[in-house]
Chain A
Amino acid sequence: MPAMLLLQAANGRLALGSIDLVIIVVYFMLVIALGLYLKKFTNTGEEFFMAGREMTAWVAGLSFISANLGSLEMMGYAAATYQYGILIAHAYWIGAIPAILFLSLVMMPFYYICKTHSVPGYLKLRYGEGARSLSAISFAVMTILMSGINMYSMAIIMKVILGWDIHFSIWVSSLTVAVYVMAGGLLSAIFNEVLQFFLIWIGCLVIPVVGLYETGGWAGMVHRIQTNFPGQDFIHLWRTTGSFTANPMGVHWTGLVFGWGLAISFGYWTTDFLVVQRVMAAKDLRSAQMGTIIGAFFKMMVPLIVILPGLLALAVLPFHLVPESQAGVAGAHTYNEALPLMLARYCGPGLLGLGITALVAGFMSGMAGNVTAFTTVWTYDIYKPLFRKDAPDSHYVSMGRWCSLLGVFVSIGTAYLVMNFSSIIVYAQAVFVFFIVPMFGTVILGMLWKRTTPAAGFWGLLAGILTSFALWLWVKFDPSALRLIAFSPHAKDMAENIYRAMWSLIVNVLVTVAVSLVTKPKPDRELVNLVYGLTDLAPAGHFSFFKRPITWAAAVAVGFIALNVWFW
């Protein structure tokens, strides 16, 4: 296949035809129209911030997974797959499925039954104002920071692959999100996320379907990869993780299981309000649990549209992609272009517009997730308790609408800040691990152990955050410390994050337990509906076997195990 076939414009950019532009414009018009249409249904705080708590399991579940399925993640993981092979699928399997199922079966009943508006709100009920304020403020800062970084990164990608002006990309996509979130709140965000879910899947599924046809199926693809990259293993999940040096990620299986699979994954999927908010908006507990399981199923399938295109790129591209550091070499394409190159390879006019719409939709769903979560946490967990406790409901709704707009503008500001200080991206990723991992220890001990005290909740969370921060600083100033933190001087950046997360969680749990043993717990009557043993968990017995969450969680778990064994 001639190399010229792979790009649709001489300067390395994809050239969109008029039909592609029509598809993109129709999408923007529809999402704005949806937001404006839903505005009249979001008049109360419960409607604006929690979508009225009347979402079905399917709507809540697809929104839950769509808020996480950002276009940066899709392109980033396709690129990483080209670099590291199927090892990257750990992000979707060990790095997500156990945690999501745990959220559904163990934690969701507490979140749902206590009727909190947010995860920091649960900490308020369980531990008091200190733990809530610490988690709410850190979450708000982290969310806006990540939103701005994603916005900037997306604008850069649009510039690279389509030649769009950075400012145009940032303002048009951000203001579109602002309009529909400001108008319809979480309801509008959820509706759009479900819509975006379909676009992302239908737009990206073209690549594996046509790609596997071209290679003659999985076996043909593997054969081509082995021919193109002799001696390298791109198709095994666990076989090369027995030592730090046997795999290109520089990670050991202990780090994958305990650091990534337990600390980071459980921290993100069970306590990051961005995703949890979607299923908390379900109409009843069973729908919330089933929605989470539906999300787990589709998360398990995402490698089809992200990892497989990366593997197919290894098999069919007639040239080798290069790292970002070699981006300036004439004619060279970087790892990050793997997914756009595959789109261009198989998608002609129309389908290309659909594929680009899928990427834009992925960005917008992620941003809307950040903005709605920020708005709720700001209004209910920062503004209401700290600034104005007893205002009427309409005041908080109004605050939420304006806060949506403010959140978007602050994100835009962050994007421009990142544009001038790109090193912020590195720090922000580190910050993400600082806050999200210890949250899991604090929340789960609060749910399962009634002896956990309010003081322990606060100090355990703070100790976990400080541990992560201290370890990060230690390695920054003394890189040789890596051999102590990650057990090997060969550990790479990702491995460092994984092990840092693990230590942070361990310290969080130890401090929480220790402080609990020497301080006074809350009386039982204040822990009703918050702690195991004092909460009347909705019995699943009256549902038929096929309607019980545990049945479907088990089915997903079997699929998860089968995939790991299959690709061992």
Chain B
Amino acid sequence: MEKKFISIWFFIGALLAIYGALILASGIYGLYAPPATAVAMPQLHIAIWWGVGMLLFGLVYAIRFWPNRNRPR
């Protein structure tokens, strides 16, 4: 049974990259326009760090398992 479906790791990478970019953008925006409701430990700017981490992790996976590369699932 020969299957050519796109690797699940690609979808995961793409989704995490998109989410990472959104969360990073939201974190950066929050530096200039803090949200109306505060969170604990705001000095950590966790959204920025989390967003960067997700973006990098997602990009690595998305590129590593890009559909045309015939990677294993």
Q: Do A and B come from one complex?
A: yes
Looking at chain B's contact residues, the main secondary structure is helix
Query: A15-B37, A59-B8 are known contacts. Are A351 and B1 too (CB-CB below 8 A)?
Result: no
Closest to A17 in B: B35
Known: A59-B73, A195-B15, A348-B47. A5 touches B39 (CB 8 A): yes
Listed residue (B22, B26, B35) with the most chain A CB atoms within 10 angstroms of its CB: B26
**Which residues of chain A come closer than 8 Å to B18, judged between CB atoms?**
26
Instruction: Tell me which of B27, B42, B72 contacts A350 (CB under 8 A).
Output: B27
Q: Is A218 an interface residue (CB 8 A)?
A: no
- With A41-B3, A198-B12 known as contacts, the answer to whether A348 contacts B35 (CB < 8 A) is yes
Which residue from chain B places its CB closest to the CB of A38 in the assembled complex? B5
CB under 8 Å from chain A, chain B span 1-48: 1, 3, 5-6, 8, 11-12, 15-16, 18-19, 22-23, 25-27, 30, 35, 37-42, 44, 46-47
Q: Interface stretch among A50-58, A100-108, A238-246?
A: A50-58
Given the interface contacts A34-B11, A54-B1, A351-B50, does A210 sit within 8 Å of B30 by beta carbon? no
List A residues at the B interface (Cβ < 8 Å): 1, 5, 8-9, 15, 17, 19, 22-23, 26-27, 30, 34, 37-38, 41, 47, 52, 54-56, 59, 191, 194-195, 198-199, 202, 206, 209-210, 213-214, 316, 344-351, 354
Whose C-beta in chain B lies nearest to the C-beta of A15?
B37
Q: Which residues of B contact A199 (CB under 8 A)?
A: 15
Give complex CA distance A354, B50 in Å.
11
Complex alpha-carbon distance, A15 and B35, angstroms = 12
For the complex formed, measure the closest distance between the CB of B1 and the CB atoms of chain A, giving whole angstroms.
Answer: 6
By a CB distance below 8 angstroms, the chain A residues around B12 are 194-195, 198
For the complex, give the distance between the alpha carbons of A241 and B49 in Å: 41
Q: Which of A15, A316, A346 has the most CB of B within 10 A?
A: A346
B59 at the binding interface (Cβ < 8 Å)? no
**Which residue from chain B places its CB closest to the CB of A348 in the assembled complex?**
B39
B54 interface contact, C-beta 8 A: yes
Chain B residues near A47 (CB, 8 Å)?
1
Chief secondary structure at chain A's binding surface: helix
Identity of the chain A residue whose Cβ is nearest the Cβ of B18 in the assembled complex: A26
In the complex, the answer to whether B1 meets A345 with C-beta atoms within 8 Å is no
- Docked CA distance A15–B54 (Å): 23
User: In the complex, what distance in Å separates the CA atom of A344 from the CA atom of B39?
Assistant: 7
Give the chain A neighbours of B23 by CB distance below 8 A: 19, 23, 350-351, 354
Partner of A22, one of B15, B22, B41: B22
Q: Determine if A30 and B15 form an interchain contact, defined as CB atoms under 8 angstroms apart.
A: yes
Would you call A191 and B41 a contact (CB within 8 A)? Answer: no
Nearest B-chain residue to A62, judged by Cβ:
B8
Question: In the assembly, what is the distance between CA of A1 and CA of B41, in Å?
Answer: 10
Q: Are A214 and B40 in contact (CB under 8 A)?
A: yes
Q: How far is the CA of A487 from the CA of B54 in the complex (A)?
A: 51
A55 near B73 with CB under 8 A, answer yes
